[in-house]
Chains A and B, each alone.
Chain A
Amino acid sequence: MKKIQIKNIDESLYYEKLENGMEVYMVPKTTSTETFASFTTKYGGIHNEFKNSDKKKFIKVPTGIAHFLEHKMFEQEDGRDPFSFFAESGTYCNAFTNYYNTSYLFSGNTELENNLNYLLDFVQKPYFTDENVEKEKGIIEQEIKMYDDKADRIIYEKLLYNIFINHPMKYSIAGRVEDIRKITKEDLYTCYNTFYNPNNMFLVLTGNFNPEDIINIIKENQNKKEFEKKEIPILKDYIEPNKVAKKHDQQKMNIDTPYLSFGIKIPLKNIKNMDHKKRNLYFATCFYYLFGETSEFNERITNEKLLDSSLDIEMIDTKDHKIVILVCKSKKYDELLFNIDKHLKDINVDEDFLERRKKVFKSSLIYIYENISDINRNILDNIITYGKCDCDIYDIVDSLNKEELDKMILKLDLSNTSTFIIKPIKIKE
Chain B
Amino acid sequence: MDCEKINMGAYNLHFIKTEKFKTISVSVNFRRPVKRQEITARKFLFSLLCDSTKKINSKRLMEIQQEELYLLNLGYKLQIFGNYINSSIDVKILNDKFSEPGITEKSLQFLFDIIFNPNIENDAFNEKNFNIIKNRIETTINSIKDNTDIYSLIKVLEEMDHENPSSFHTWGYIEDLNKITKENLYNYYLNVLNSDIIDIFIVGDIDTNMIKQFFQTNFRINTIKKQKKKLWINYNEYRKRIKKKIVEEDLLQQSKISVALKLINISDFERRYVFPIYAQILGGSAYSRLFQSVREKHSLAYNISAATKAPSSIMLITSGIQKENFEKTLRLIRKELKNITKSISDKELENAKSDILTNIQTITDNPTDIINYYFGREVLNSDEIKDKIKKFKKVTKEDIIKFGNKVKTDTVVLLCGRDKNEKDTD
Contacts and interface: CB of A to CB of B under 8 A. Distances in A.
Given A252-B251, A367-B94, A295 B320 contact: no
A295 B359 CA distance: 41
A252 B68 CA distance: 42
Given A305-B135, A359-B70, A148 B253 contact: yes
Nearest to A250: B426
B253 A360 contact: no
Interface stretch (B138-146, B266-274, B336-344): B138-146
A303 B351 CA distance: 53
Contact of A308 (B136, B147, B347, B356): B136
Interface string A85-114: 001111110000000000000001110000
B99 A363 contact: yes
A83 B287 contact: yes
Contacts of A303: 128, 132
B98 interface: yes
A34 B296 CA distance: 30
B367 to A, nearest CB: 8
A366 interface: yes
A148 B139 contact: no
A308 B356 CA distance: 40
A396 to B, nearest CB: 18
A255 B151 CA distance: 12
Contact of B362 (A33, A136, A366): A33
Max chain B Cβ within 10 angstroms of own Cβ: one of A137, A138, A254, A295: A254
A256 B249 contact: no
Interface residues of B, number: 67
A251 B320 contact: no
Interface residues of A, number: 66
A228 B165 CA distance: 62
A384 interface: no
B23 interface: yes
Given A294-B60, A294-B63, A305-B135, A90 B354 contact: yes
Interface in B222-260: 249-254
A369 B22 contact: yes
Contact of B94 (A140, A145, A298, A366): A366
29 contacts: A33-B361, A81-B286, A83-B286, A89-B354, A90-B356, A90-B359, A109-B361, A109-B362, A138-B299, A145-B253, A145-B254, A145-B320, A146-B303, A146-B320, A149-B148, A149-B252, A149-B254, A251-B426, A252-B251, A252-B422, A252-B426, A254-B146, A293-B63, A294-B67, A296-B60, A299-B59, A302-B59, A308-B136, A356-B68
6 pairs of A and B residues whose beta carbons are closest in the complex:
A90-B354, A138-B299, A90-B358, A363-B71, A143-B302, A256-B142
